Amino acid sequence: MTSQGVRAADYELGGVPVKEAQSPWQVRLRGLGVITRDSDRVDGVAGSDLSYSDTVIPELDISYFFTDNIAAELILGTTYANVDGEGSLASLGQVGKTWILPPTLTLQYHFNDFGAFKPYVGAGVNYTIFYNQDGRAADDLDIENSFGAALQVGFDYMIDDNWGWNVDVKKIFLRPDFDVTVGGNRLHGKADLDPWLIGTGITYRF
């Protein structure tokens, strides 16, 4: 068989062109709003509360498709949050500041029966790392790294085989313990953050 015949067999079956298989890899770049629940408590301090500033950050995610419907997605990004006293702690003002690294891995199901519109749902696990923590009104601030569950819903609208527009919403169930030192008093509590992560951006399928 000639080399030309081999190439034809690679791309035609019974005279019908065979479409080249798509890569299983996909990346997205999103702008992401991080909106926290802000329902904390400091043990032993009546009426105490803390709030965390909402932020907008860039986010990169990498997906691998095991099948046309099943994919795993790793979400990467980092942000910061100002920690402010509320309730009986309002007089403290800004208690401190922390940077947050919340890598999240989800397993997704993609619906492919709607043409260019490709919705998906997902669930997975988050591990949030709090770093570069700095006390302001507090002498010391220590928020512990923590695991949390993650739920996800979103869609891609594909412009062509490679490029698309993405909208994505995630809910992270995140409630780390923290210690704070104010006026020489060491206090303990739990931060009920439970943030919403709401993003939109571009999709590229290799």
- List, for residues 145-187, the tens digit of each pLDDT value: 999 999 999 999 999 999 999 999 999 999 999 998 888 888 8
Separation CA 155–CA 172 (nearest Å)? 18
Q: What is the pLDDT of residue 48?
A: 81
Q: How confident is the model at residue 14 (pLDDT cuts 50, 70, 90)?
A: low
Q: Which two tokens stand for residue 103?
A: 């890598």
Nearest to 21 by CA among 63, 65, 72: 65
Find the DSSP H helices in the chain: 3-11
Convert 78-104 to b/e letters by CB count within 10 Å (16 or more is b): ebbbbbbbbeebeebeebbbbebebeb
pLDDT at residue 11 greater than cutoff 60? no
Check: CB of residue 124 under 8 Å from CB of residue 107.
yes
Q: What is the pLDDT of residue 9?
A: 39
Q: What is the pLDDT of residue 121?
A: 98
Q: Which two tokens stand for residue 179?
A: 């210690």
Check: CB of residue 56 under 8 Å from CB of residue 35.
no
Burial of 63: CB neighbours in 10 Å, binned 0-12, 13-18, 19+: buried
Mean of per-residue pLDDT scores for the chain: 89
End-to-end CA distance of the chain: 32
Range of weakest confidence among 73-77, 91-95, 154-158, 173-177: 91-95
